Amino acid sequence: MALLPAALLSAGCEWGPDDSGPTVVSPPAGTPAVDSDVTVVEQAVAALSAAHATVSVGPGRKRARAQFLVLHETHLEHLGEAVPAPAADLTTATDATGWRSVVRTERDLQDTLASLAGAADSGALAQTLAAMAAGTAQLLASHTAGPADV
């Protein structure tokens, strides 16, 4: 699972402690702290997988849902994770409530990815997670232009 941290190590990316203030991160002299970033990646994978399961079920807005599912899959692949199998559609929600759930789920996912970007020790991992949050925000914005969508 921890393909990304391993890739970061081999790429010689910047590592440093997470502290307060907008300070420059200097690579420490010793071995990078991989363990905490493995946890960060695991949390990101869990959040993406949970969102994937939520968005894959429900009625309506199939094209938009499909775009979110592709985005989740792309992000999971970036984290070195296998793409989950699609869930069976067992929901009885209406189109409107189903879509509201998708929007809520994606907003929560965006916040989680942004928060995990802040928690990562590795600058490269932080950059990737922040870009994932930005990608989620972009797709959300492209589908929630009108107040009726939210």
Which residues are near other proteins by CB under 8 A? 13-14, 16-26, 67, 71, 74-75, 78, 110, 114, 117-118, 123-124, 126-128, 130-135, 137-139, 141-142
Residue 74's Cα: distance from chain center in Å? 10
> Which CB sits closer to other proteins, 54 or 122?
122
> Which CB sits closer to other proteins, 105 or 110?
110
> Which CB sits closer to other proteins, 9 or 139?
139
Q: How far is the CB of 90 from other proteins (least distance, A)?
A: 29
C-alpha gyration radius of the chain? 17
Q: 101: Cβ–Cβ under 8 A, 6 or more apart, which residues?
A: 54, 58, 93
3-state secondary structure 99-148: HHHHHHHHHHHHHHHHHHHHHCCEHHHHHHHHHHHHHHHHHHHHHCCCHH
Q: How far is the CB of 73 from other proteins (least distance, A)?
A: 10
Structure-block tokens of residue 35: 């363990």
Max alpha carbon distance in the chain (Å)? Answer: 56
Q: How far is the CB of 102 from other proteins (least distance, A)?
A: 15
> Which CB sits closer to other proteins, 39 or 127?
127
Q: How far is the CB of 142 from other proteins (least distance, A)?
A: 5
